[in-house]
């Protein structure tokens, strides 16, 4: 190791050298050289995650005093099978092995040489938002305790990542930018939309991909909660395992319990053989519980035990067994209000809402509406095996000004219907069936006009609160009984929402 004065001078020189790099390739090459010299190791590598955190790229490698050509490296690989790299990324923890045993530790990411790699230090790298974006790794063929270098390598890597993002902001195009995008792509984990609200959702998804915590997806009906759940699974570290979906509102209580937990032969009439539940089917993967707000209280207590202890007891069994399942729950209801009303367990609510993600309504994503509409129209044309439809300006203006109470689901259905009706190759306003509240009829008396306005206000408030009558009543400053009376008087039913 260099003496302290020479060490400080060395670091100042190398940091200055990194700051003078004019492109990403030069910067990353100098970074791995500095890491190798700082640690006095034969090998130094830097890996970077892509925007979706599903692919890991070996961006630069320094070995035996030479910068290795990028063409010779494995430029893109799925790191699911690399347990050491996956551990550092998913746990955001430094890995230091003074005695690397290749018979115990998979080390296929290290280059093949005549000698055996004996020591390894792998340091996670974070960006300015504290997101893990890559790894800085050093290794040697001699047994060495590299733990003391962790802090220095972390600072070096953080500086390098900051410089890389600076270069990316200065140069908005060019070959060097293919190394690592600075922000999630517009399609964000397979989702469509580039509005500020959706970019905020993409950032939250990126933070939770490689964490085992439970996720609660909230938002109005039709906002795409199922797509976000799928994206978290497909882009996270459990993507090689099962993704299992269950709608909690689709089954009565006794069927839902047996579906989730499974049962043993003879547990009830008709149980002629053992059956595996969805929690076991999702072992190692993800269980997506849609409409969690409709789960009965008894099942909520059993689900809480799964979250707390990771244990499942099938119906008719006296024994429990362990499962490793990540729970992603979704609801359009206000769970906090349900907790206050005693219809949802408070302890389960806090367990599920460990990491909440609220999906914006489509009316809050104005700039995404036309992009989504074009996407659905193109898919509809492809399905019907016809040429792509053109859009009239009048149709686009109508779409942009519509509130879409049914959100993306309503937009999709509306566009697909319009494509079916379109025969001239151009989508026109008459091809769309907008739900427009009719204006006030001049023949109405004052009472009829007031009832029309009141009905519209009540329906808007109920839609905003996902049909939750208690929450709507609180927002309107009414007793719930009064709200129910007015809904009945104005002929408002759940189907109207």
Helix or strand (DSSP H, E) at 43: strand 43-49
Please list, in sequence order, all residues whose beta carbon lies within 8 angstroms of the beta carbon of residue 206, skipping any fewer than 6 positions away. Answer: 53, 131, 184
Q: Are residues 22 and 155 in the same domain?
A: yes
pLDDT of 160 > 50? The answer is yes
pLDDT of 150 > 70? The answer is yes
pLDDT at 293: 92
Q: Are residues 375 and 328 in the same domain?
A: no
Average pLDDT over residues 473-486: 83
Report which of residues 101 and 256 the model is more confident about: 256
> Is the Cβ–Cβ distance between 473 and 480 less than 8 Å?
yes
- Write the CATH number for 472: 1.10.10.60
Report which of residues 235 and 2 the model is more confident about: 235
Please list, in sequence order, all residues whose beta carbon lies within 8 angstroms of the beta carbon of residue 81, skipping any fewer than 6 positions away. Answer: 106, 108
Q: Are residues 239 and 254 in the same domain?
A: yes
| Count of domains observed in the chain | 4
Q: Are residues 280 and 165 in the same domain?
A: no
pLDDT of 461 > 60? The answer is yes
Residue 184 domain-assigned (yes or no): no
Residue 186 domain-assigned (yes or no): no
Q: Are residues 214 and 115 in the same domain?
A: no
pLDDT at 32: 92
Residue 188 domain-assigned (yes or no): no
pLDDT at 472: 85
Residue 245 domain-assigned (yes or no): yes
pLDDT at 244: 94
Q: Are residues 301 and 229 in the same domain?
A: yes
Q: Are residues 393 and 492 in the same domain?
A: no
Residue 488 domain-assigned (yes or no): yes
Q: Are residues 151 and 261 in the same domain?
A: no
Q: Are residues 10 and 128 in the same domain?
A: yes
pLDDT at 115: 87
pLDDT at 418: 93
> Of 431, 461, 488, which residue sits at a domain end?
431
Mean residue pLDDT across the chain: 83
pLDDT tens digits, residue range 52-107?
A: 666 778 889 999 888 887 644 444 445 556 778 888 877 788 989 888 877 777 78
Q: Angle formed by the axes of helices 225-235 and 196-208, to 10°? A: 40
Q: Which domain holds residue 28?
A: 4-178
User: Of 51-60, 226-235, 415-424, where does mean pLDDT reach its minimum?
Assistant: 51-60
Q: Are residues 217 and 73 in the same domain?
A: no
Q: What is the signed CA dihedral for 337, 338, 340, 345, rounded to 10 degrees?
A: -140
Q: Are residues 338 and 452 in the same domain?
A: no
pLDDT at 108: 81
Report the candidate in 31, 84, 19 with the shortest Cα–Cα distance to residue 59: 31
> Of 133, 150, 178, which residue sits at a domain end?
178
> Is the Cβ–Cβ distance between 170 and 192 less than 8 Å?
no
- Which DSSP letter does residue 110 get? S
Average pLDDT over residues 316-329: 92
Predicted TM-score (pTM) of the model is: 0.57
Residue 436 domain-assigned (yes or no): no
Q: Are residues 172 and 275 in the same domain?
A: no
């Amino acid at each position: 190791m260099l003496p302290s004065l020479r060490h400080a001078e060395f670091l100042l020189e190398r940091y200055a050298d990194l700051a003078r790099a004019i492109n990403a390739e030069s910067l990353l090459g100098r970074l791995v050289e500095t890491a190798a010299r700082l640690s006095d190791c034969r090998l130094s590598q830097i890996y970077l995650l892509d925007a979706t955190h599903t692919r890991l790229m070996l961006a630069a490698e320094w070995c035996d005093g030479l910068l290795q050509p990028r063409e010779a490296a494995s430029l893109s690989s799925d790191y699911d099978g690399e347990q050491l790299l996956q551990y550092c990324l998913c746990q955001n923890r430094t890995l230091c092995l003074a005695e690397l045993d290749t018979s115990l530790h998979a080390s296929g990411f290290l280059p093949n040489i005549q000698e055996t790699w004996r020591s390894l230090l792998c340091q996670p790298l974070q960006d300015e938002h504290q997101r893990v974006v890559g790894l800085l790794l050093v290794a040697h063929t001699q047994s060495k305790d590299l733990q003391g270098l962790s802090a220095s390598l972390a600072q070096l890597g953080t500086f390098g990542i900051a410089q890389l993002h600076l270069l990316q902001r200065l140069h908005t195009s060019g070959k060097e930018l293919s190394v690592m995008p600075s922000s999630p792509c517009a399609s964000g984990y397979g989702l469509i939309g580039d509005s500020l609200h959706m970019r905020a959702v993409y950032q939250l998804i990126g933070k939770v991909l490689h964490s085992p915590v439970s996720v609660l997806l909230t938002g109005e009906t039709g906002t795409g909660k199922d797509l976000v759940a799928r994206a978290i699974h497909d882009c996270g570290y459990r993507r090689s395992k099962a993704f299992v979906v269950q709608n909690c509102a689709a089954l009565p209580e006794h069927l839902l319990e047996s579906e989730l937990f499974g049962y043993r032969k003879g547990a009830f009439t008709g149980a002629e053989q053992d059956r595996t539940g969805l929690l076991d089917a999702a072992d190692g993967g993800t269980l997506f519980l849609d409409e969690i707000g409709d789960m009965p209280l008894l099942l909520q207590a059993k689900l809480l035990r799964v979250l707390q202890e990771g244990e499942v007891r099938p119906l008719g069994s006296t024994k429990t067994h362990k499962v490793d399942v990540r729970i992603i729950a979704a609801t359009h209801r206000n769970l906090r209000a349900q907790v206050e009303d005693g219809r949802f367990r408070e302890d389960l609510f806090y367990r599920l809402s460990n990491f909440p993600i609220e999906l914006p309504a489509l009316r809050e994503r104005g700039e995404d509406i036309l992009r989504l509409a074009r996407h659905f129209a193109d898919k509809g044309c492809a399905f019907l095996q016809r040429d792509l439809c053109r859009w009239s300006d009048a149709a686009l203006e109508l779409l942009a000004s519509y509130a879409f109470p049914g959100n993306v689901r309503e937009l999709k259905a509306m566009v697909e219907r319009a494509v079916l009706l379109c025969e001239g190759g151009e989508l026109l306003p008459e091809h769309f069936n907008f739900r427009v509240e009719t204006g006030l009829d001049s023949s109405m008396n004052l009472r009829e006009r007031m009832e029309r306005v009141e009905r519209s206000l009540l329906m808007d408030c109920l839609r905003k609160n996902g049909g939750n009558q208690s929450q709507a009543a609180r927002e309107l400053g009414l007793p719930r009984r009064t709200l129910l009376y007015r809904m009945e008087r104005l002929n408002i039913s759940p189907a109207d929402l």
